Amino acid sequence: MAIITRLDRLLADRKMQLSELADKVDISLANLSNLKTGKVRAIRFSTLEKICEILECQPGDILEYSKEDDK
């Protein structure tokens, strides 16, 4: 199972830099960068809510589930 983040796509669509979003959400650039690259294991709902509010999107626009094939 894998959760894929689509934050980079949303930022590009809205012509917003990661640093600008970090300032608006009041989260460190390093933490937001880790979220963008999928290096985090968890996200607070309050943080997700702020991101969705600023980007005017739904959580499903940011996070995507992808079933990995069993080998």
Q: How many domains does the chain have?
A: 1
In this structure, what DSSP letter does residue 54 have? H
Q: Note down the domain range covering 12.
A: 2-66
Distances, alpha carbon 10 to alpha carbons 18, 30, 62, 70, 71, in Å = 10, 18, 7, 30, 32
Q: Residue 19 belongs to a domain with what CATH number?
A: 1.10.260.40
Would you say residue 50 lies in a domain?
yes
Predicted local distance difference test score (pLDDT) of residue 67: 87
pLDDT attached to residue 68: 76
Q: Is residue 57 domain-resident?
A: yes
> Which pTM value belongs to this model?
0.87
Q: What is the pLDDT of residues 31-67, one digit of tens each?
A: 999 999 989 989 999 999 999 999 999 999 999 998 8
Residue 71 lies in a domain: no
Q: Is 23 part of a structural domain of the chain?
A: yes
Sequence-distant (≥ 6) Cβ neighbours of residue 52 within 8 angstroms: 58, 59, 61, 62
Query: Cα–Cα distance between 71 and 40 in angstroms, integer?
Result: 25
Is the residue at 16 inside a domain? yes
pLDDT at 24: 96
- At residue 5, does pLDDT exceed 90? yes
Query: What does the pLDDT look like over 11-29, one tens digit per residue?
Result: 999 999 999 999 999 999 9
Q: Residue 45 corresponds to which tokens in the numbers above? A: 């709902």
